[in-house]
Amino acid sequence: MVSPTNGATGVADGNFSLVLTSSAYAIEVKASGGGTVALPAPSPAPSSIPAPSDETVAVPALQPATTYAVVGLFDAGTSCEITTSIGTFTTQ
């Protein structure tokens, strides 16, 4: 997770770009109190992002003062699904 950085606090409560290093995972954002935020598929980061292999994901409106876990899903929706933690952030 490039931006926000892992463990960041005071992150805007939505409508920002989550920047990730390139991965083959589907991405989910899970609220600490439960619930999953649907995210679109990652797209290549604009040239203003430092590493050309980075990807961005548009994050919709989120709950304020909530910790979110960013989770990667490999083979999402199959019996072989593998979940991996990518990082966390807390909204302002």
As given in the structure block, the two tokens for residue 69 are 């876990």
pLDDT of residue 22: 64
> Which residue ranges make up each domain of the chain?
8-91
Per-residue pLDDT of the chain (92 residues; tens, 9 = 90+): 788 999 999 998 888 888 887 666 778 889 998 888 877 766 655 555 555 567 888 888 899 999 999 988 887 777 888 888 889 999 99
Instruction: Give the separation between CA 67 and CA 24, rounded to whole angstroms.
Output: 24
Closest to 23 (Cα-Cα) out of 46, 5, 1: 1
For 8-91, the fitting CATH number among 3.10.620, 2.30.110, 2.60.40, 1.20.120 is: 2.60.40
pTM for this prediction:
0.78
Say how far residue 69 (Cα) sits from the centre of its chain.
8
pLDDT of residue 56: 83
Buried b (16+ CB within 10 A) or exposed e, 13-39: beebbbbbeeeebbbbbbeeeeeebeb
pLDDT of residue 58: 85
